[in-house]
Chains A and B, each alone.
Chain A
């Protein structure tokens, strides 16, 4: 019982001193990051600053050279990506990667069947009901039986996000879900991601759309050239000199 209470008070995600090199290039240099349960964190930084590399290290698709990744107090550094998803750590891809031979609905059934089942027991009929429910949330319900390869870019991004949600995560990492979307579509996705807060889901939002980042985030972290240069309250972070310099130059 005491152990259970301890994990509740512990941070949801704890990235400590993670370093990742590609050959001689240092993509991440001793990066620390904390995410509390239910927190909404914005992760920003110029192109090539290591945001996606950090996501990959957290999700397990890349192994960092050093440092540790702990989820709910447990070291997950050696776990395969699919194990991490099952523990409650889901991510969406920057470039949508739908299962092209499947319908939109079936795309969601995969994480529901393989990942979400570890969290909540779902019966056979419940899986497609739940998939449909998520599609309604993201506004893809009317396309549930369409083939995923025929979707528009916007719908593919929604599907990408929906598939991550279908894993029933405790932490969802959204990797540039809004790039190229119109203002109203950005708002749609913001509503969606904010809705996850009510379900107690923490979100790391990686985004270039600053309006969305400022509106969404409770806290903002800034990566520049593989180092975290700022972490804190959104307003104060974006007004700091080094952040402005990194984004706009000298």
Chain B
């Protein structure tokens, strides 16, 4: 399927999904779905740098928080309309992604992962001490009373925005994967020196990959302040974002855009169910257990397992 076709279908189904869900009366559906969608974006975005390019980023929470806090900042400073905030947060996180891309010049493997984790801690400390955006106390963001497009409640608007952003993330990830850029990134992941010596402009591709990955993760965070109406640093920089955005592609499969989608839907849904039925404290434990299970039993994720099964059948 061509990328244009895929984009058309994805955006069309996103619109249908956003429209059809207005028939659902239960408001819990929207906040649960919002969370799952948010994880789909994070996982898909993480996979562009982590899965396609092979640079494991432990700092997803930092990118997410940059998106969230860029919204908080704009809310306080200019109060622009929501689309402007989404765009601004995406760009800000993209710039951070570019900076992280330059880290790949000197670091790879474990060292790169630790550096991204450190980046997250540094930004966290910065935000905690930045009074304008609320510092450690956090900031209140009021949802506008009037909801556009005839939607009943503001969460419906946020949910619809999230559906569209998810569609965008999937389209971008798939377009990268199927293009010559994706093949170049795969070469970098396999052997960076050999890739460079095969004519692949490794630095430029890594910068591109890190920027797009960071921008999309930031995009996922831009509507977060409105979703909760209140943001504090420990919520925006929550460990669960970093852990989940790694765990989901790992469980789903890191070689294609489908893997993170499957992983995020599966893990995100399980976490939502557990949160309601058992307790919210169990969330990360479940992620951990599933991660251990998959790393030992299906190291290439669900998609890797499916591929292997298909190959066996063909023979």
Encoded as 1 (CB less than 8 Å from any A CB) or 0, chain B from 185 to 198 comes to 01101110111111
Query: For window 79-101 of chain A, which residues contact chain B by CB distance below 8 Å?
Result: 80-82, 85-86, 90-91, 93, 97-101
With both beta carbons as reference points, the residue of chain B lying nearest to A81 in the complex is identified as B196
With A99-B190, A110-B183, A113-B180 known as contacts, the answer to whether A86 contacts B196 (CB < 8 A) is no
Contact assessment for A106 and B196 in the assembled complex, using a CB-CB cutoff below 8 Å: no
A51 within 8 A of B: no
**Residues of A contacting B255 with CB < 8 Å?**
101
B201 within 8 A of A: yes
B175 within 8 A of A: no
With A99-B190, A99-B191, A101-B186 known as contacts, the answer to whether A61 contacts B197 (CB < 8 A) is yes
Encoded as 1 (CB less than 8 Å from any A CB) or 0, chain B from 163 to 202 comes to 0000000000000000010011011011101111111111
Q: Nearest chain A CB to B185's CB is how many angstroms away?
A: 11
Q: Nearest chain B CB to A204's CB is how many angstroms away?
A: 15
Q: List 7 A-B contacts (CB under 8 A).
A: A61-B196, A80-B196, A97-B193, A98-B194, A99-B190, A110-B183, A110-B195
Contact assessment for B191 and A114 in the assembled complex, using a CB-CB cutoff below 8 Å: no
Give B contacts to A, CB under 8 Å. 180, 183-184, 186-187, 189-191, 193-203, 255
**Residues of B contacting A201 with CB < 8 Å?**
none
A26 CA to B144 CA, complexed, in Å: 70
Interface residues on A, range: 20 to 34
Query: Which of A100, A118, A167 sits near B198, CB closer than 8 Å?
Result: A167
Encoded as 1 (CB less than 8 Å from any B CB) or 0, chain A from 105 to 132 comes to 0100111011110100000000000000
A102 within 8 A of B: yes
A73 CA to B127 CA, complexed, in Å: 55
Q: Nearest chain A CB to B265's CB is how many angstroms away?
A: 25
**Could you list 10 further interchain pairs (A-B, Cβ under 8 angstroms) beyond the known A101-B186, A102-B186?**
A81-B196, A82-B198, A85-B198, A91-B197, A97-B194, A99-B186, A99-B190, A100-B191, A111-B199, A114-B201
A219 within 8 A of B: no
A227 within 8 A of B: no
A82 CA to B198 CA, complexed, in Å: 7
**Residues of B contacting A81 with CB < 8 Å?**
196-197
**Residues of A contacting B197 with CB < 8 Å?**
59, 61, 81-82, 85, 90-91, 93
Contact assessment for A80 and B201 in the assembled complex, using a CB-CB cutoff below 8 Å: yes
A157 within 8 A of B: no
With A97-B194, A99-B194 known as contacts, the answer to whether A110 contacts B189 (CB < 8 A) is no
Contact assessment for B180 and A101 in the assembled complex, using a CB-CB cutoff below 8 Å: no
A163 within 8 A of B: yes
**Residues of A contacting B183 with CB < 8 Å?**
106, 109-110, 113
**Residues of B contacting A80 with CB < 8 Å?**
196, 201, 203
Query: For window 180-198 of chain A, which residues contact chain B by CB distance below 8 Å?
Result: none
With both beta carbons as reference points, the residue of chain B lying nearest to A86 in the complex is identified as B199
Contact assessment for B180 and A82 in the assembled complex, using a CB-CB cutoff below 8 Å: no
Q: Nearest chain B CB to A121's CB is how many angstroms away?
A: 14
With both beta carbons as reference points, the residue of chain A lying nearest to B192 in the complex is identified as A97
**Residues of A contacting B184 with CB < 8 Å?**
110, 114
